[in-house]
Structure 1
Amino acid sequence: MPEKEKLRIDKYLWSIRIFKTRTLAADACKAGKVKLDGQNIKPSHEVRIGETYQVSKGIEKKVLKVTGLLENRTDAKTAVQFYEDLTPVEQTYGYKSVFQAPMIRRDQGAGRPTKKDRREIDDLQDGFFDQPKQ
């Protein structure tokens, strides 16, 4: 793969497959979801090898270190060689626990829960949605 000396951050994030389109990558930069050393950066920021970026994409947060510059979008196996994922393990899988909430089902046509039903539901969910204290 040909490497380039100067590369914009929006094009880099698109080429390493963090964002599906370059427009989405540029919009994320403009919205302050891409940071370098805690500072928001513009889509035209030039990427340098060795820099570390914090990227927020929805509820997912990643910390990426640039190991090479990739000009064009390629397959995922090749793209992985151009960055190092430094995201802590607890952040990597932390957002997935949101989708494992207890499922409480009510029979169709049973109507709204009564006060007693509501208290029972609250007892079942007690503490499940609380954030762990650090």
Structure 2
Amino acid sequence: MLIEIGATVSATDSNTSKIRIDKWLWAARFFKTRAAAKTAIDGGKVHFQGQRCKVSKTVDVGDKLTIRQGFDEKTVVITGLSEQRRGAPEARLLYEETPESIKQRIDKAETRRIINAAGMAPDHKPNKKERRDISRFKQRQDY
């Protein structure tokens, strides 16, 4: 048996032509754990080709994913597969974010920044009376 030392394995190995979406999201460093990736998929925060999917869905190179994390929504195209979680520079090679997605994220971040700078965000936590007033207001709005 011949063992070659120092050989590198590419991100797309012949053994891993398809991989589960939760494992890929974890390896690409979108989520810290596979459990967190599973929770996001089950909660509808990850869409495969524009549709909700299950955790066991297999992905391949060229597939399009939409991932919502906090205020941001990223649309990425899978460019590589890996079953192992590696460093961030290597994980970044597994996907490519679409230009439209980048532009939308920047625009939404700018909008949030303007709203917060304009003082539309509350400057304090509501006290008991203000919470009651908010509750009454919301009840009147529901028909």
TM-score by length of 2: 0.66
Q: Could you tell me how far 1:57 is from its partner in structure 2?
A: 1.0
Return the letter of the residue paired with 1:70: S
Q: What's the counterpart of residue 45 of structure 1? A: 57
Whichever structure has more helix as a proportion of its residues is 2
Q: Could you tell me how far 1:58 is from its partner in structure 2?
A: 1.4
The aligned length equals: 104
Is the counterpart of residue 102 in structure 1 residue 114 in structure 2?
no
CA deviations 1:20-39 (Å, max 9, x no partner) are: 11111111110111112221
Q: What's the counterpart of residue 23 of structure 2? A: 11
Structure 2 unmatched ranges of 5 or more: 1-8, 120-143
Distance 1:96-1:25 versus aligned 2 partners, 3 A rule: same
Structure 1 unmatched ranges of 5 or more: 105-134
Q: What's the counterpart of residue 93 of structure 1? A: 106
Tell whether the 8 Å contact from 1:62 to 1:87 is kept in structure 2 after alignment: no
TM-score by length of 1: 0.70
Q: Could you tell me how far 1:6 is from its partner in structure 2?
A: 2.7
* Cα-Cα RMSD: 1.7
User: Greater shift after overlay, 88-97 or 3-12?
Assistant: 88-97
Out of 34, 42, 46, the position equivalent to 1:34 is 46
Q: Could you tell me how far 1:52 is from its partner in structure 2?
A: 0.6
CA deviations 1:52-99 (Å, max 9, x no partner) are: 111111111001111111111100111111111115233222342314
2 CA distance for matches of 1:26 and 1:75? Answer: 21
Is the counterpart of residue 79 in structure 1 residue 91 in structure 2?
yes
Identical residues among aligned pairs (%): 34
